[in-house]
A and B are shown apart, each in its own frame.
Chain A
Amino acid sequence: MKNNDLFRKTIPELQNLVKERKVSYEEILQENIKVISTQEEKVNAYITLTTKKAIEERKKLSPDGFNGHNYLYGIPLSVKDTFTTKGITTTAGSKMLEDFIPPYNATSYQRLIDEGAVMLGKTNMDEFAHGFTTEYSAFKITHNPWNLNNVPGGSSGGSAASIAAGEARLSLASENFGSIIQPSSICGIVGMKPTYGAASRYGIIAMASSLECPGIMGKCVEDVAIGIDAIIGLDPLDATTFSYSAKNFFPGLSTSLKGKKIAVIRPIMENLDKEMVKTIENALKTLVKAGAEVNDINWYDLGLDSKIYDVLYRSEVASNLARYDGIRYGYRSLAKEESLNDYYLSTRDKFGPHVKRQIITDPILLSSDGDDVYRTVLKLRRRNQQYIDLLFKKYSAIISAASTFTDLKIGEVAKPEWREKNRRLGKINGAMMCPSVLYGYPAISFPIGFSKSNMPIGVNVFGFRCQEQELLNLAYSFQEESDLKCLRPELLS
Chain B
Amino acid sequence: MTYQPIIGLEVHVELKTKSKLFCGCPAEHFGTKPNTQTCPVCLGLPGALPVPNKKAVDWTILLGLALNCSIHKVSRFDRKNYFYPDLPKGYQISQYDEPLASKGFVKIDTKKIRIRRVHLEEDAGKLLHEEVNGVKSTLVDFNRSGVALVEIVTEPDVRSSEEARTFLKKMRQIARYLGISDGDMEKGTMRLEPNISVKLETRNTKHEDDLPPYKVEIKNINSFNFAKKAIDFEIARQVSLLEKGETPLQETRGWDEKKGVTVSQRGKGEAHDYRYFPEPDIPPMEFSKSQIENLRSQIPELAEEKIARFIREYNLSQYDAEILCDSRERAEYYESTIRELKNLRIKELTEKTVANWIINKKVDTSKVAPEDLVKMIAATTQTTSMPDEELEKIIKEVISKNPKAVADYQGGKEQALMFLIGQVMRETKGKRGFDKMKTVIEQRLNA
- Contacts from A to B (Cβ < 8 Å): 82-84, 90, 92, 97, 100, 102-104, 106, 201-206, 208-210, 236-240, 315-316, 318-319, 321-325, 327-329, 340, 344, 362-363, 366-368, 371, 374, 378
Interface string of B72-109 (1 = CB under 8 A from A): 00000001010111001111000000000000000000
- Given A319-B79, A327-B85, A238 contacting B49 (CB threshold 8 A): yes
Known contacts A239-B282, A327-B140, A367-B273; decide if A340 and B85 are in contact (CB<8 Å). Answer: yes
Does the CB pair B273–A239 fall under 8 Å?
A: no
Nearest 4 pairs of A and B residues by beta carbon = A322-B90, A210-B280, A366-B275, A209-B280
Query: Are B51 and A237 in contact, CB atoms less than 8 angstroms apart?
Result: yes
A104, B46: Cβ atoms closer than 8 Å: no
14 A-B pairs with C-beta separation under 8 A: A92-B46, A206-B47, A209-B280, A236-B51, A319-B275, A322-B83, A325-B90, A327-B88, A327-B140, A329-B45, A363-B273, A367-B275, A368-B274, A368-B275
**A208 neighbours in B (Cβ, 8 Å):** 280
Q: Is the CB of B47 within 8 A of A325?
A: no
Asked if A323 contacts B52 (CB within 8 A), the reply is: no
Report B31-46 residues with CB < 8 Å from chain A CB.
40, 43-46
Cβ–Cβ contact A238 & B81, under 8 A: no
Given contacts A316-B280, A344-B83, A367-B275, contact A328 B88 (CB under 8 A): yes
Question: Measured between alpha carbons, how far is A238 from B40 in the docked complex, in Å?
Answer: 13
Q: In the complex, which residue of chain A has the Cβ closest to the Cβ of B23?
A: A237
Determine the distance from Cα of A83 to Cα of B79 in the docked complex, in whole angstroms: 23
Output the least CB separation between A79 and chain B (Å): 13
Given contacts A322-B83, A366-B81, could you give 20 more A-B pairs where the C-beta distance is less than 8 Å?
A84-B46, A90-B46, A92-B46, A97-B46, A102-B47, A201-B49, A203-B47, A204-B47, A205-B46, A205-B47, A206-B47, A208-B280, A238-B281, A239-B281, A240-B280, A319-B275, A322-B90, A325-B83, A327-B85, A363-B275
**Would you list which residues of chain B between 256 and 303 have a CB under 8 Å from chain A?**
273-278, 280-283
Nearest-neighbour CB distance to chain A for B74, whole angstroms, equals 14
Question: Is B50 among interface residues, defined by CB-CB distance under 8 A?
Answer: yes
Q: Chain B binding site: helix, strand, loop or mixed by DSSP? A: loop
With A205-B46, A368-B273 already in contact, the answer to whether A323 and B283 are too (CB < 8 A) is no
B89 adjacent to A103 (CB under 8 Å): no
| Interchain CB contact under 8 A, A238 and B275 | no
A83 x B275 contact (CB < 8 A): no
- The answer to whether B91 touches A322 (Cβ under 8 A) is yes
In the complex, the chain B residue whose C-beta lies closest to that of A94 is B46
A240 and B45: CB pair below 8 A?
no
Smallest CB gap from A204: residue in B: B47
Asked, given contacts A104-B48, A237-B49, A237-B51, whether A323 binds B90 with beta carbons under 8 Å apart, the answer is: yes
Known: A202-B49, A327-B85. A103 touches B40 (CB 8 A): yes
**Residues of B with C-beta under 8 A to A362:** 275
Cβ contacts under 8 Å, B49 to chain A:
201-202, 237-239
Encode contact with A along B132-144: 1 for CB under 8 Å, 0 otherwise. 0000000010100
A396 to B140 CA separation, bound complex (whole angstroms): 54
Flag if A323 contacts B51 (CB, 8 Å): no
Residues of B343-372 at the interface with A, using a CB-CB cut-off of 8 Å, are none
Which residues of the other chain, B, contact A340 by a CB distance below 8 angstroms?
Answer: 83-85
Give the chain A neighbours of B84 by CB distance below 8 A: 340
Chain A nearest CB: distance from B297 CB in Å?
27
A210 to B78, CA, bound (A): 13
Which listed residue, A90, A203, A239, touches B283 by the CB 8 Å rule?
Answer: A239
Kindly report which residue of chain A lies nearest to residue B46, judged by CB atoms.
A205
Residue of B nearest to A208 (CB): B280
In the assembly, what is the distance between CA of A371 and CA of B275, in Å?
8
Number of interface residues of B (CB under 8 A): 32
- A323 CA / B92 CA spacing, docked (Å): 11
Which residues on B sit within 8 Å (CB–CB) of A238?
Answer: 49, 51, 281
Please give me the residue from chain B that is nearest to A212 by CB atom. Answer: B280
Q: Which residues of A contact B274 (CB under 8 A)?
A: 368
Contact call A319/B277, Cβ cutoff below 8 A = yes
Distance in angstroms from B78 CB to nearest chain A CB is 11
- With A315-B277, A322-B90 known as contacts, the answer to whether A202 contacts B47 (CB < 8 A) is yes
Residues in chain B near residue A103, CB distance under 8 A: 40, 45
User: How far does the Cβ of A316 sit from chain B's closest Cβ, in whole Å?
Assistant: 6
Q: Which chain B residue has the least Cβ–Cβ distance from A211?
A: B280
User: Complex formed: what's the CA distance from A104 to B42 in Å?
Assistant: 14
With a cutoff of 8 Å between Cβ atoms, the chain B residues found around residue A325 in the complex are: 83, 85, 90
A163 → chain B closest CB, angstroms: 23
B residues 140-190 touching A (CB-CB < 8 Å): 140, 142
Q: A322-B83, A328-B88 are in contact. Are A83 and B47 (CB under 8 A)?
A: yes
Q: What residues of chain B lie closer than 8 Å to A237, measured between beta carbons?
A: 49, 51
Chain A contacts of B46 at CB under 8 A? 84, 90, 92, 97, 100, 102, 205-206, 323
Contacts of B280 in A (CB 8 A): 208-210, 240, 316
Specify which chain B residues have a CB less than 8 angstroms from the CB of A327 in the assembled complex.
Answer: 85, 88, 140
Residue from B40, B49, B85 whose CB has the most chain A CB atoms within 10 Å? B49
Judging by beta carbons under 8 Å apart, are B281 and A209 in contact?
Answer: yes
Q: Which residue of A lies closest to B282 (CB)?
A: A239
Which B residues are CB-close (under 8 A) to A97? 46
Q: Which residues of A contact B89 (CB under 8 A)?
A: 322-323
A177 to B278, CA, bound (A): 21
A322 and B47: CB pair below 8 A?
no
A206: nearest chain-B partner, CB-CB: B47
Q: How far is the CA of A322 from the CA of B82 in the complex (A)?
A: 8
Identify which of residues 1-50 in chain B touch chain A, using a CB-to-CB cut-off of 8 Å. Answer: 40, 43-50
**Which of chain A's residues have a CB closer than 8 A to the CB of B83?**
322, 325, 340, 344
A203 proximity list for chain B (CB < 8 A): 47-48
Give CA–CA (A82, B85) in the complex, Å: 24
Q: Are B90 and A374 in contact (CB under 8 A)?
A: no
Which residues of chain A are within 8 angstroms of B47 by Cβ–Cβ distance?
82-84, 102, 106, 201-206
| Distance (whole angstroms) from the CB of A465 to the closest CB of chain B | 14
Q: How far is the CB of A196 from chain B (nearest CB, A)?
A: 11
- Chain A residues, Cβ within 8 Å of B283: 239-240
Q: Is B50 in contact with A239, judged by CB distance below 8 angstroms?
A: yes
Closest-CB distance, B388 to chain A (whole angstroms): 71
Q: When chains A and B are docked, how far (Å) is the Cα of A106 from the Cα of B278? A: 24
B51: A residues at CB distance < 8 A: 236-239
Closest to A236 in B: B51
What residue of chain A has the Cβ atom nearest to residue B43's Cβ?
A328
Q: How far is the CB of B339 from chain A (nearest CB, A)?
A: 45
Q: How far is the CB of B70 from chain A (nearest CB, A)?
A: 22
